Every structure is written in C-alpha cells, then in structure tokens.
Amino acid sequence: MVKLKKGTKRQELARKYNIQRMVSAHKKKLRRMAKKGLKAPTKAKIPEIPNCIFKKDILSNLKRTKEINDRKKELQKVNKQKLQE
C-alpha cells in the first residue's frame, strides 16, 4: 500500500488572523472577569460514588453540606440587600 502524504500545516492568513482576534477577545474577557472578581464559568461535577458500605453516609454528608452552603448564600443575599437599602 502506498503511504499517505502528510498535509501541509499552512493556513490562510485570514484564518490565522481570525484565530488571533478570537484568542485576544477571549483573554480580554477573562481579564475583565478577574478584575470584577468573577470566576470563569465551570460545569458542576456530579458526585459519582461507587457502591460501598458507607455510600448512604457519604450521600447524606454531601446533602447536608449543600444545604448549609445554600443557607449561607441566602444569608449573604439578605445582608447585601440590607446594605444597599
């Protein structure tokens, strides 16, 4: 069988400059978000716990910590609204 020839790595200049523009816009967006104190958006991980003896305990602990965090967020919202008034 004949070997396939490798394609060139040349790219059109329009494509090259388009990529540069998009990258700089993305970096600018990240800098703005960092300046405001925001984090880059990330997807929440779904906890995957293997079947084991302590699975129920682990799940209950996760649920409890989530409830505590939700309460903290609500309190922070209320405090922020009070400060604005």
DSSP for 6-45 reads PPP----HHHHHHHHHHHHHHHHHHHHHHHHTPPPP-PPP
Tell whether 18 is covered by a domain: yes
pTM: 0.42
Give tens-digit pLDDT for 1-40: 788 888 888 999 999 999 999 999 999 999 998 888 887 7
pLDDT at 64 over 90: yes
Same domain for 37 and 49, yes or no, is: no
Instruction: Write down the pLDDT at residue 37.
Output: 85
Instruction: Write down the pLDDT at residue 57.
Output: 93
Query: Quick check: 40 and 30 in contact, CB under 8 A?
Result: yes
d(Cα 84, Cα 75) in Å, to the nearest integer? 14
What is the residue range of 22's domain? 10-42
Same domain for 48 and 82, yes or no, is: yes
Task: Tell me the percentage of the chain whose pLDDT exceeds 70.
Answer: 99
Query: Quick check: 58 and 49 in contact, CB under 8 A?
Result: yes
78-84-85 Cα angle (round to 5)? 90
